[in-house]
Structure 1
Amino acid sequence: MTALSFKNRKLYLLSSIRRINLTNNNTTRCRTSPAPTLVFFTKGDVKLSTNDNLWFAEPLQLYYFPSGMHVEASIQSEEVDYYMLIIKPLTISRSNKQWFSDLSADAPSMLTAGRISLRDTEQALLRFERLYEASRNSSDTGHLDLQLQEMLHFIEGQSLVQENTQPSDNGIELSIAYMQRHFHEKISRETLASIANLTPSSYCRSFKKAKGLAPTDYLNQIRIEQAKKQLASGHSIKEVAESVGYGNEYYLSRIFKKIAGIPPTLYVKRNCLRVAAASRFGFHDNLNSVGVRPVAMVDCYRHPGLQEADYERRLKTQLEELKIARPDLIIGDYSHLEHYEAFKRIAPTFILDFNLDWRVPHMKVAELVGREKEAQQTFNQLDKKITEARTRLDASANNKSVALLQIMHDHVMLQGTVNHPLNQLLYTELGLKPDKAAPINKMRLELFPQDVPKLTADHLWIRMYMDHTEVDQTFAKIRKLDFWNSIPAVQHNKIRFISNWLIMSWTPQGRNKIIDEVIELVAPDATSG
């Protein structure tokens, strides 16, 4: 009797998942995929090329490279961070009531080489994060393989939604590759549209939808980045203008200042500028952390509760301080945009755009003063400290929850877990457990005292907005709430008044201090270890 035999049952197991961080050292990295590989980018820009295709990878993009594919990667930003997931495909067969498995080169059928467009990139990031953390903390390979299957099903459901947009996306990327090769030449919209196989008007619409910029603005950014490199190498502004495709120094200066924030005449001597900081977020600390001592530090933001007359006097005094300091450059945060014209009469001024990622303004400040390497060193040192702190907290916190309240004149702010550098530090980087009442998907809740939800935190951290009678009265109302005395933090004397962590979390120095204070509050025994 012939034995029953059947094949072609596919099983996909997790070979490995790594999180990789690289900095731009002007080298091209080459790699041949050892097995079917998924790469999910979380930070930075990378040019990826194979024999047949070219892609420009950005954060929250997913790529698939089958076994044996040769890939060249060139980092286009200061830093890149990504997850690399290697799949172990097996062919399962059964013969004579026995199961056999063999390694297979086949990958899941829904994966095609190159970029996989996803509808919900945030959910994709969450799945990569969970699988990565599980791989570090669990030895249960069966559980990891199940998580991989769930991820593949998710990708299959998501990628079909936008599958038909891939050819247009690739055309846009090809046009960008042309910009990067021919930035020093005159490039027409018609030429770029032809490369993308689109009409000029359709090309401009598609490009802006894909990149958030018009093609001309994108090309200007490429040219200015090249101009920066050449200026740093000692070339004259006139030479650079001709080299990067601008006809004269005036045009280069206008575009350069628009994109870089300062004119090229200041950029070439940015390492020795007299710099003033105008910020409510501690830009003077950002400067100090990269080795630049500001000649003046002002905060012209009108804080709540400050009377008009008092504010005008304070503003006049601070503007006078800037004049006396005679800076070559004023760096301001977005809360000082209304004072741009007044600042500009004192010195060239650059106002940074708002960004919830504190690293973005920090790196921009560093770039304006020629200290990018120092800023990266600061990031590396802080990341190391966070890793060490989290290890201590994981060992000592015992799943204790925390809540953070800011007491204002007539209301209360209960911090959430996202959309603020402090929330990111406490709940994502340090891994603290938020109170059940804390909003999971919001920066914070603003509440009247009587509307504060029932807290169950083991640690309650309170920031009093200022030393003012009305602030004290608001806090007194909270302490009269029915549930107040039932809060574990109240019962075990774990209420602590903190300094302004919300502002401190925007600078490296501030984040270092917050980490030290958190360890002292949550895991005091760990400080000696």
Structure 2
Amino acid sequence: MRNSRGCHAYVWTAFRKQRLKRGFRLRQLRLEEYVLCYVAEGSGEITVNGKKHGIEAGTLIMLTPAMRIDELSVPSGPLQMYRLHYTRIDAASPAGGKQAAAPGAQKRLAGEAAGAEVFPVASASAFVTKLEELYRLGQEADECLHLRAQSLFYDLLATACEERSARAKGGDSSVAATIDYMKKHFREALDLGALPKLAGLTPSSYCRAFKRAVGMTPGEYLTQLRMEEAKAMLSSSSSANRVKDVARSVGFSDELYFSRLFKKREGLSPQIYMKQAGQRVAIASKLFLQDHFLAIGIQPIAAPSFPNYFPTRTGFPVYLQQRLRGTKALNAERSITPQEVLPLSPDVIVQIDTGQEQGQGEWKKLGETFMFNGYLSWHEYQRQIGTVFNKENQAQRIIDHVQKVEKAAREALLPVTRQGEWTIVRVLENEVRLYGTEGHALTDLYYDKLGFQPDPHVTHASYKPDALMELVRIDPERIILFWSEKEDVERLWPNPLWQSLRAVRENKVYYPESKNWDPWGPLGREYMIEQCTAYFLRAIPSI
């Protein structure tokens, strides 16, 4: 279903709703188009290319051209099905027209399976709603409605592909795939009962694996996703949404239930939360304190960004990009000046009093500036911010939550961490840094919280620069590369000293995509833990 850099597009050609009676049987049909079938009611069996599949309500069937349906039968009761036919258009062809639809003539797209793909849909009710809307729009002759229908058609295909991708991942990684799916679809009427099937696990096994991965049940996690989005909406300085609108936007149809649940979790009603979050806070520090403020329900009007490091439009990391919509990005790769912030009319300006940053004396002259001292850990910042902004309960709640996430991840990673000793390295253009066992948020997380065992020869704090010769002396068993650019790693790799390392020779160098990993704030820390757990459970499949 992939649109490869605009080379391919899809157009739906027919859409049918069928109600098949008990005893219905279809034999021998060869497909000339793509077909997406969704079973809304009843059960039956379908045999495609010689393989039989049981189908029931909530099942999605994805078929591609040249497949052979040997049989479709409904042995008991009626079966209601949506059947959507569509074809691929080759935009790269001179005519820009439809590919030949004869059996076997269409080339299979990368990632498409050779057989029928039959799997349950996690968001069943939302999927049916989209199908019904597409069916209704398909009956209209209006050109504008036709364009809306085509957009909805692509939305359906995207949802189907996401569910297929999640299903394709097995074991613990399939739980991570369902977590990704929940993040994308939590605003919809998610059917949590379908997630175990999506992961290929029994309900009890899935719940145990899910809780082991994130420290809570699927229902609790779904509620958390919705509440975090609700807090972001209520905190937005540009938001004019009523509580009722916010509730519906994050997946709650009952405003009263949403309000009761919100107060139980946050300690105050959505209305009061919105009022308290209305304070205009500007963060003029290089440290990403916006993470800490968002966690307690305060969206800053301005916050530091690193546009040459983070590949997002704003220069915020990907896990904060959406949450900070409406927040002015202050380029922290240079000195942030009062002239950038004061025109925003902030109630409070937050700075870190390091005694080293240029121009701090100028900030101290501003009466509305609050200077935080430097602290050793993220939760010390969180507690101090909570105290200053009268959010002590919310600050403690987020600290407790992250500690649960750390504990659950430690348990999930035991098969990985107990395998040996680990050394953390960062490769830069002109140096190799060797991280110690303490004095840094990264090593605190990995060694102390997640249970990775450091190499006993590594005893220093923070990190050592220019440490390639030190690495040769230690000759570590396993190496984790963090925050390292691909070109810098590729430049280092042929170096004979690097190649002499045991971890390199034995292919035990682990290189996760860690550019957006930041352990210095609660949101970044949780994102990092989740990504790290998924990476290592995939990277070491033999466990």
TM-score (normalizing by structure 2): 0.40
Q: Which has the higher helix share?
A: 1
TM-score (normalizing by structure 1): 0.41
